[in-house]
Amino acid sequence: MTSTQDTGQANCPAEPRSNFTMIQTDKAEMPSHKTQIANSEEYRLSFGTGGLYVLESAQLSQSYSDLESWDEVIEQAVEHNLLQFKSSGSTRRTVREICIRLKALSQKELNFFVTADPYDQSLINWLACCRTYQFIGDFATQVLLENFASYKLELGHVDFDFFYDEQALFHPELEEITDGTRKKLRQILFRMMREVGVLTENNRIVAGIASQSLKDINDHGARDLHLFVPGVVQ
């Protein structure tokens, strides 16, 4: 799995990758994504450990299917150095974080994840991240999908910074973050969006297309896939 550095907003849009199609969606048909951020819980910001970890997440999901214990999954991953880190401590922290994300999925979604194609796996992983990290989920609904619905398809640093400053009014924990950590969170979030395929290398928003099989097993509700992925409808 490759990682892409956050290079900022481009002057010229790039062609969407072959797995994605721009969908001209009537804005009236798009769901309303604004949330009551004043009532939000404290943000969990530990997603700065890395990107989506799609391949590793699939392997851990398979291990859980076999072992039926997240603790055993973590121990096995550390023992075999799944992430190929030099430090066992770093491996344990990152594997634990990935498992926390996977716990946000339903049993049906976990079972599907093990055998899904790589694209659906990336969508499920993105869904897990949006559910686990409210900061990412709020950004997806309030910025990514709102911009897509308004045909504002260029996504740059200014969009992240405006969202971050707005959320800081209701989340004092964001004010305690250093500038370096804030830039790291932005870099990781942009990397995740590129890995799932909803953002091109030139920072242009494109639609994600979930398979019918994924739609069928996805639990419809307030945290459903269509709330976090542009172009996906119920």
Reported as a pLDDT band with limits 50, 70 and 90, residue 36 is very low
φ/ψ of residue 160, rounded to 5: -65, -45
The pLDDT of residue 41? 84
Asked if residue 80 has pLDDT above 70, the reply is: yes
The pLDDT of residue 233? 77
Neighbours of 15 (CB within 10 A): 11
Q: What is the mean pLDDT of residues 143-149?
A: 96
The pLDDT of residue 3? 42
Q: pLDDT per residue over 83-120, tens digit each?
A: 888 888 889 999 999 999 999 999 999 999 999 999 99
3 state SS of 152: coil
Query: Which amino acid belongs to residue 36?
Result: Q
Flag the least confident range among 48-52, 181-185, 202-206.
48-52
Asked if residue 82 has pLDDT above 60, the reply is: yes
> What residues contact residue 176 under an 8 Å CB cut-off, 6+ apart?
none
Q: Residues 39-58, buried b or exposed e (16+ Cβ, 10 A)?
A: eeeebebebbebbbbbebbb
Scanning the structure block, which residue is given the tokens 């770093």? 90
Record the pTM.
Answer: 0.81
Neighbours of 80 (CB within 10 A): 12
Give the mean pLDDT of the chain.
83
The pLDDT of residue 221? 59
**Which residues does residue 204 pair with via DSSP β-bridges, in sequence order?**
154
Q: Any idea where the domains of the chain sit in the sequence?
A: 54-105, 118-227
Cα(222)–Cα(227) distance, integer angstroms: 8
The pLDDT of residue 194? 97
What is the H or E stretch that residue 234 is in?
none
Cα(91)–Cα(89) distance, integer angstroms: 5
The pLDDT of residue 223? 64
Q: pLDDT per residue over 195-233, tens digit each?
A: 999 999 999 999 998 888 888 887 655 568 888 999 987
